[in-house]
Structure 1
């Protein structure tokens, strides 16, 4: 009798497990539903969405060979001059003043004139130190002989550099960034205290030359070491010398744009710790495809990553994002132009299309559901609702209720299709826009 009871209990357990599996399968295959009034779809809800309309300035770019390529054939609102070059050299301090007191502004003059011609704002990143001015001339940088990662040995040389550039381009360059990725030794080999001192002097001089100048903090490379560096930098007074906080949110090849959210939150937590939560946060550089690791993306993934990165960055509270890069084949593989430097890549087409979707609209919410289908709700400039949806992992069915009024599906290649009569849509890694038109 006891043996029979034990067997019966085992069968009950197995039956219960089978029922759970069956229920799970049924639930898994049920479509997600586009919800008009959801307040909490998952544990990764974003609560920092800006309430203001999305402006053109969200869409920044890096252009490297500015005198060797046609001007980008897609809208660009703002250009960060890091790695910007002409045949005369880069726009770094080390190339502007190769020898003490001997200035060569040809590259920077050209970039400024080009930006003015096309109505584009500029962000100029201060540094890198020329060898003659370096405290440690042998501290190399990624830019060959001459530019160094060292801080200057004489603060007066730094002051003169900052004042000379700010005065020459007064009214033409309104945004200055203190340094690029100072938590990485090949970009800055000095101490945190030395960077605070450089920021203090630069901030003071820039505001003296033109009080309307906006100063961006040194933009760190966001990783564990970067968060620690920022924490120390702000604690030692660096928080006083920035109107905007800058950071770079690169992710590994096995990650997706949505994975950058954890990095962004870490930086925001450090900002909040030091009373900087109300200051704007800009992503002044992020791209995909490490050239050194031969990481390449398909045309579809390139389009998806461009659109989703902009969506996730805005949703996380980012006011600007500077894509890296239009054309720099030495560093990344996901670029905006082909090797002929003229033909637009799928990434560039998505960059243009996502602007037409977003500029002027307001994002109301943006979050994934339990199946990782992201649903972002917007209001257009005309006050009409629309939604952008995608799933970064796998295709999922999405049911579109009648009361949403959705009739049309917009795709990143610029095409539009009617919503099927059964009001269900397969959603995958390429975002689509759902409208009532």
Structure 2
């Protein structure tokens, strides 16, 4: 352990403590630790094995997200002896930035830069010439994703979902399987503007619209009312909602119970918070979030036993500090209270191939396994900065929209919510409210039709799966008949059709008979191959 690096970390932490005016004992109570433990961390006598205790102390002292990032870098250097260490390829050897190799100490994932561990988007030619998620101009990334084969599993009718960002009550005019409500003025602040006083008008309009369209509804909670947490930071929204947990958790439990009772049998699932590992959305500790999850789960199950409880979503998981929050929530038993775990599984940019999110999906899966959290996985959003990203052209956007869902199937997720429906201010537009649906929406609709009533058997890509290079494939059956879906990552290849192929279908609705052994053109726009 490098004492100089530990001293720098301690100095930063002590600066936050002094600025907060809190004593060691007060901080200990806030972070559910002892006075002596907090003292050891603040004086540099000990460096914790994970970043979580440092983050909890700094957050209790009012640290910003930028402060946390600085602390994370200092903690990493302190723990690793003043070197940023990476084991990119799982070789058992880690490399200091200066180029000196040292033995791997079998550190958990959160002690390394996720951007390095997810050295998974390899540029053509094999070199990591650009950071993950930022491919070099004109290159096609090769993504490493392990093949899998399981007993056939029915794809849930709700799998192809969209997040609605409109409070009008209008719903998509193209076919999807479910709708998630967020940014619809249905946050806690909107629904309960004063303690015990509820305003159901907007939510009622949305639920009625969704039920009329035959769409199961997931309602996402967030936005603590000002009256419930007056001293916590203001959220990014304009409704005076706050990011902190309520001062009295009984207010939260009562609110959740009221919603579940009001919409018993009409709202199908409840996501218990949005982006709960981001300070702009939730500034409490993970221990507080776990308790909120426990109370909300109990309230929902008592009021509406058939509703699905989905744990608070975790986003920006390419960021090691954000990933560590997910890990901490899992280790504290948060996922024990839910039927599903929500994460923002999406590419770092909407212009990136959707398959680039698969290595991140694997790291999420491993983190949950390590914590013994056996829950289904849902993807409920995109990157935090999605509204600031550049538009994606119509053809590529349509391909990526369809492959977002196929990548979710590859990752074995049970629900995928595309972000979003209703807005025109995002890189890939499906349909503005009141406007026509786009090519991307038509592709999503066609994919949803392909998947209806089907079961998935396997997914694989490239030589490992016995397929031609660059080919991605998932295998399904429906009504006793097998079919494949093939695609590539943004390239065009002529490939011999699979044995038994009788016809192909495209996302534009075109279909073509196929002679045995004939070549088919495979591109970034998925095709369906009917077998037998």
TM-score range, shorter chain: 0.7 to 0.9
Please state if 1:195 is matched with 2:289. Answer: yes
- Which structure would you say has the larger Rg? 1
Please state if 1:245 is matched with 2:341. Answer: yes
Please state if 1:62 is matched with 2:157. Answer: no
Report what 2:36 is aligned to. Answer: none
- CA distance change for structure 1 residues 43 and 337 in 2, over 3 Å: closer, same or farther? closer
Report what 2:355 is aligned to. Answer: 258
Report what 1:377 is aligned to. Answer: 475
Report what 2:413 is aligned to. Answer: 318
Deviations 1:330-372 (A, max 9, x none): 4x2312115x732110111001100121222222222211422
Cα contact 2:474–2:484 (8 A) shared by 1: yes
The offset of 1:213, in angstroms, is 2.6
**Divergent runs of 4+, >4 A:** none
- CA distance change for structure 1 residues 212 and 299 in 2, over 3 Å: closer, same or farther? same
- CA distance change for structure 1 residues 290 and 126 in 2, over 3 Å: closer, same or farther? closer
Report what 1:329 is aligned to. Answer: 424
Taking the TM superposition and a 5 Å limit, the aligned residue runs for 1:260-279 are 260-277=357-374, 279=375
Cα contact 1:291–1:329 (8 A) shared by 2: no
Cα contact 2:402–2:443 (8 A) shared by 1: yes
- CA distance change for structure 1 residues 421 and 362 in 2, over 3 Å: closer, same or farther? closer
- CA distance change for structure 1 residues 92 and 360 in 2, over 3 Å: closer, same or farther? same
Using the size of structure 2 for normalisation, the TM-score is 0.67
Please state whether the residue corresponding to 2:330 is helix, strand or coil. helix
Report what 2:381 is aligned to. Answer: 285
Report what 1:80 is aligned to. Answer: 180
Cα contact 1:48–1:316 (8 A) shared by 2: no
Please state if 1:177 is matched with 2:284. Answer: no
Cα contact 2:471–2:486 (8 A) shared by 1: yes
The offset of 1:43, in angstroms, is 6.0
**Following the alignment from structure 1 to structure 2, what is the Cα–Cα distance between the partners of residues 289 and 408?**
41
Report what 2:443 is aligned to. Answer: 350
Taking the TM superposition and a 5 Å limit, the aligned residue runs for 1:102-113 are 102-113=197-208
Between 319-328 and 370-379, the greater mean CA deviation after superposition: 370-379
Between 250-259 and 122-131, the greater mean CA deviation after superposition: 250-259
Cα contact 2:344–2:383 (8 A) shared by 1: no
Deviations 1:125-154 (A, max 9, x none): 2221011211534x1222114111121112
Please state if 1:235 is matched with 2:336. Answer: no
Deviations 1:90-144 (A, max 9, x none): 011111122223321101111122222222211112221011211534x122211
- CA distance change for structure 1 residues 171 and 356 in 2, over 3 Å: closer, same or farther? closer
Taking the TM superposition and a 5 Å limit, the aligned residue runs for 1:7-156 are 44-47=145-148, 51-67=152-168, 69=170, 71-84=171-184, 90-134=185-229, 136-137=231-232, 139-156=233-250
**Following the alignment from structure 2 to structure 1, what is the Cα–Cα distance between the partners of residues 327 and 517?**
53
Cα contact 1:361–1:378 (8 A) shared by 2: yes
Cα contact 2:401–2:428 (8 A) shared by 1: no
Please state whether the residue corresponding to 1:148 is helix, strand or coil. coil
**Following the alignment from structure 1 to structure 2, what is the Cα–Cα distance between the partners of residues 413 and 117?**
27
**Following the alignment from structure 2 to structure 1, what is the Cα–Cα distance between the partners of residues 444 and 216?**
18
Cα contact 2:147–2:461 (8 A) shared by 1: no
The offset of 1:289, in angstroms, is 8.8
Cα contact 1:288–1:333 (8 A) shared by 2: no
Report what 2:484 is aligned to. Answer: 387
Please state if 1:398 is matched with 2:495. Answer: yes
**Following the alignment from structure 1 to structure 2, what is the Cα–Cα distance between the partners of residues 240 and 53?**
24
- CA distance change for structure 1 residues 133 and 429 in 2, over 3 Å: closer, same or farther? same
- Structure 1 segments unaligned to the other structure (5+ residues): 1-23, 25-41, 85-89
